[in-house]
């Protein structure tokens, strides 16, 4: 009897992670052998505030089904106010993504380097959420130049806003 492999959508998730906290939690989760889905592609940043709107929008434009941004808890940022800037940027981008029909695909969480179980839970929950939402809807459009124009408009708006 042959086994039939189930075709299950496996999301591609880009994870922008603060070097000092979330990346440390990911490392601790790995050495602790905690189980979480292998769907994330980690990008280590010195601070979550350096996850620019350009990079987040480019991740979606390049085919990411979801983007996770992880940083230090409020008040624990190694660069003092970085996570306050992160909140401002991510909130703006979440509203933009909601406007274009991509609500729920950008997630922000504060995970310290000692919170490996929380890291595994956040990755598992976000992966399941993206799995339910399905593939990135940007690729059903034939004209990607309109998406590019939207990305440039968002970048311009962020630079005017001072974020």
The string of pLDDT tens digits covering residues 11-32 is: 999 999 999 999 999 999 999 9
| The pLDDT of residue 7 | 77
| The pLDDT of residue 142 | 40
| Residues 23-34 as b or e (16 or more Cβ within 10 Å = b) | bbbbbbbeeeeb
The string of pLDDT tens digits covering residues 109-145 is: 999 999 999 999 999 999 999 999 999 998 665 455 6
| The pLDDT of residue 138 | 83
109 vs 160: CA distance, rounded Å: 26
The string of pLDDT tens digits covering residues 57-71 is: 999 999 999 999 999
Half-sphere exposure of 163 (CA within 13 A, CB side): 22
Which 3-state string (H, E, C) describes the chain? Answer: CCCCCCCCCCCCEEEEEECCCHHHHHHHHHHCCCCCCCCEEEEEECCHHHCCHHHHHHHHHCCCCEEEEEECCCCCCCCCCHHHHHHHHHHHHHHHHHHCCCCCCEEEEECCCCCHHHHHHHHHHHHHHHHHHCCCHHHHCCCHHHHHHHHHHHHHHHHHHCC
Q: Could you say which architecture CATH assigns to the domain 13-161?
A: 3-Layer(aba) Sandwich (3.40)
Residues 126 and 62 sit within 8 Å (Cβ to Cβ): no
% of the chain residues with pLDDT over 70: 82
Other C-beta atoms closer than 10 Å to the C-beta of 143 total: 8
The residue extents of the domains of the chain are 13-161
Residues 28 and 113 sit within 8 Å (Cβ to Cβ): yes
Average pLDDT, the chain: 89
The string of pLDDT tens digits covering residues 43-98 is: 999 999 999 999 999 999 999 999 999 999 999 999 999 999 999 999 999 999 99
């Amino acid at each position: 009897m042959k086994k039939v492999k189930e075709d299950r959508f496996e999301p591609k998730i880009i994870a922008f992670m603060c070097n000092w906290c979330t990346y440390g939690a990911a490392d601790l989760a790995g050495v602790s052998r905690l189980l979480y889905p292998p769907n994330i592609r980690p990008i280590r940043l010195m601070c979550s505030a350096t996850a620019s709107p350009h990079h987040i929008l480019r991740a979606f434009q390049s085919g990411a089904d979801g983007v996770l941004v992880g940083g230090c808890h409020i008040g624990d940022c190694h660069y003092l106010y970085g996570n306050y800037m992160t909140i401002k940027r991510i909130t703006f981008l979440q509203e933009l993504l909601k406007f274009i029909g991509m609500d729920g695909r950008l997630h922000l969480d504060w995970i310290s380097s000692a919170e490996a179980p929380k890291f595994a839970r956040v990755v598992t929950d976000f992966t399941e959420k993206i799995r339910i939402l399905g593939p990135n809807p940007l690729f059903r459009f034939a004209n990607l130049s309109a998406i590019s124009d939207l990305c440039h408009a968002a970048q311009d708006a962020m630079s005017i806003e001072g974020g």
